[in-house]
Amino acid sequence: MPQPTVILHGGAGSSLQDKGGLLPVRQSLHTIVSQVVQALKEGATAIEAVVLGCRLLEDEPRFNAGTGSVLQSDGQIRMSASLMDGQRQSLSGVINVSRVKNPIDLAHWLQQCPDRILSDVGAAELARELQLPVYQPLTDQRLYEWLEERKGNFQKSMAAVVAEEARRGTIGVVVLDQQGHLAVGTSTGGKGFERIGRVSDSATPAGNYANSLAAVSCTGIGEDILDEALAARIVVRVTDGLSLEAAFEKSFREATSRQRDFGAIGLDHRGAIAWGKTCDVLLAAYWDGTTIGDTLELPPGLQVGSRNPLS
């Protein structure tokens, strides 16, 4: 059996500046990777480890998911999250849910249900049924950003920078457990300042997909990810015989020709890790079975990389 393996991300973009800089982001991501790895070593399943990692990332205000989610055009926070069990090939999730602390918990509960994807009203009713405490994920920083945007009718130059980074904000976790099972979870606060009712990629197979051979989580411009059906495309290519790295390389070459703006992380059932990006920065960190590493200092633009335990 392969060693437990983890790769996770805190979004993508053009800069680490709005997240506090390189070292704080690295510390946050590496700490969360360590906690997920420890849980796996203690016997956590892939699904349990993914939910743990997503909860930790949702609770970190520097990332756009859970606490610290960006505000939509009407000043409200609406979050989306999904979870996929690769062994069962089962996807569950919530879309545009409000006033919960960890949307991934709702996605986790829905794994056992016949109706596994719920939108805003249904997700709110589920949270009520589960008696989850009402939670306000708004932070002072996110409120300030929205107020600055609003002063200039969302046209100010400072606000444009905020909006540019916000719309790439997502978190994701991909895990291979000690039994060789894969799982993936993805969560987001949306792109910020969007039209009410807009649906991101994060709760769809385009942004979050797994089977028994590979699992992928995406981040970046949601509409670009949807147009490419990116996560599902990479997983299908692995299923059809490509290596994980080759599937990433082919998919990202195609995306570059269409000027897409996003990143993705993935694992296969042998423990190979891969990542790719067309944007400048991919906030990803991983445990390859031996060491913790990250992608925070990759050169700008198209980059695809991997770690293969068999090489």
Q: How many residues belong to the chain?
A: 311
Separation between Cα atoms, residue 104 and residue 164, nearest integer Å? 25
Cα atoms in the Cβ-side hemisphere of radius 13 Å centred on 167: 19
Q: Which of 67, 170, 278, 295 is catalytic?
A: 170
Partners of 281 in the β-ladder: 13
As a whole number of Å, the end-to-end CA separation of the chain is 16
Cα atoms in the Cβ-side hemisphere of radius 13 Å centred on 173: 35
Its sign, for the CA torsion 205, 39, 267, 222, is positive
Residue 170 appears among annotated catalytic residues: yes
Residues acting as catalytic residues: 170
